[in-house]
Amino acid sequence: MGRALRLVANANDSFANENRQIIEPVPTADEQLLDAYSRAVTNAVEKVSPSVVNIDVVGQVRGRRSNYQRMPEEMRGNGSGFIFTPDGYILTNSHVVHDATKIEVTLSDGRRYQAELVGDDPDTDLAVIRINAPNLVAAKLGDSQSLKAGQVAIAIGNPYGFQCTVTAGVISAVGRSFRSNSGRLIDNIIQTDAALNPGNSGGPLVSSRGEVIGVNTAIILRAQGICLAIPVNTAKFVVGPLMKDGKIRRSYIGVGGQTVPLPRRVINFHNLPVESGILVISIEENSPAQKAGLLERDVIIGFDEQPIANIDDLHKVLTHERVGVRSRLAILRRSEQLVLDIVSEESKATAIE
């Protein structure tokens, strides 16, 4: 009887095993989607992470008094970057390496190299540095023009020195604007909820295809899930001049001003295409603006047939193509509309606008 019971038990176990194989649950659509999402993120990280670097910088403390011993002579910082050419060119944020006296790069495999600053553009918060090292893996640059809200976005960087940290989310919005440390407005900024922290700056924002679509640059303090990246198409435009000349050439006219609304009667009387303009508060000595006869309290409303309603409009037209070119500056002087001939010059570090 005992043997019979054992045989029955064995038979039942075998039948149960067969049934378990037959009725094993099929993954739900949500489970399949999550699995596909995990594979996409993993594959993208595997492609790009060998190109991501940690950047340690040392800079001189500005404004330090020689007789004040408690303030350190040097300031240390940390950021991220990524290799974009096999011969060692690395893209990062300007604010990571600007004014650095020493730059050290750590690769994903642990190798460490001294880096040189090739070019720096605070107006777009981008910079290029270079290391001399063998066997480097360059990240593939994508196209930020075709991005849409809702796409997967993956950030790779070194927050607080934790190397090759991965965070993932979606593109929250495109076409945002962000003001750089220099005061210029950066257009077409990517907003994402992929978590960023100090040290992520300069690292890549990556698509699910493993292509760099942006350069992580900032977070909105006291907000949750609002992080910003400079589009890779802007970076493509900037890196060439930075590698060639070390800077981006832009023009300037030498004025300081603020955006002010225009009286309705003035708008109607002159049939103006703008409802605001730039009130000139200061004029740099020997600048294009002074040479053209611009005066304080004048209001700029146009530049070469382009309506100028605010400071950002003026920034957009003052490109490198305007350097040395005679242009027409439309202004309001009291209630009179005038046009001045002005020749923009190449911008200088000390220029106001």
| Positions marked active-site | 95, 125, 201
Q: Do 344 and 322 touch, CB atoms closer than 8 A?
A: yes
d(CA 264, CA 276): 10
Query: CA 167 to CA 255: how far, in whole Å?
Result: 43
Token pair listed for 219: 């977070």
Q: What is the rounded distance in angstroms from the CA atom of residue 338 to the CA atom of residue 333?
A: 7
DSSP state of 6: H
Pairing type for strands 112-121 and 100-106 reads antiparallel
Give dist(CA 281, CA 298) in Å, integer: 8
Distance CA 196, CA 166 (A): 10
Query: Can you read off the two tokens belonging to residue 216?
Result: 């992580």
Task: Please classify residue 306 by burial: count the beta carbons closer than 10 Å to its beta carbon, then call 0-12 exposed, 13-18 middle and 19+ buried.
Answer: middle
Phi–psi pair at 296, nearest 5 degrees: -60, 145
Question: Tokens 């020749």, residue?
Answer: 343
Q: Where are the alpha helices (DSSP H) in the chain?
A: 2-22, 29-48, 94-97, 232-245, 264-270, 288-292, 311-317
Distance, in Å, from the CA atom of 91 to the CA atom of 18, rounded to the nearest integer, reads: 58
The radius of gyration of the chain from alpha carbons, rounded to an integer in Å, stands at 28
The C-alpha atoms of residue 141 and residue 246 are separated, in whole angstroms, by 21
